[in-house]
Amino acid sequence: MWDSIQRQEFKGLHGTGGILEQVRTIAKQEGIQRARDKDVLSMTWMTYRGGVHLGMAMDYCEDNPGMGLEVLDVAEKFRLGLRQGFPKKTRKPYVLEEEKFSFV
């Protein structure tokens, strides 16, 4: 999702080449069984979308350990960035503001 926004592609969740399709492709490559199922992916997204920025921040900080980053600060920056991204042909962000957990 973040990469889609950064590349100015704004791919939606469910469309061809969308974010859930990309996750499904990676899951197949990695041998993750349940993540291959479109229904499981959709339900997982509905459950965890409010905290997706925390997971993104945790991964980012883990990948960049020498930078002295604070996970919650990075999560807040991702949350603010996600507010600006809208899938093509829509006016709604990937995650509605009221559904995002704030770590301020």
pLDDT digits (tens, 9 = 90+) for 9-63: 766 666 677 777 877 888 888 888 777 777 887 787 777 777 878 888 898 999 9
What is the tens place of the pLDDT at every residue in 73-97? 998 888 887 777 676 677 777 677 7
CB atoms closer than 10 angstroms to residue 6: 10
| Angle at which helices 52-63 and 71-82 cross, to 10° | 130
Which pTM was predicted? 0.63
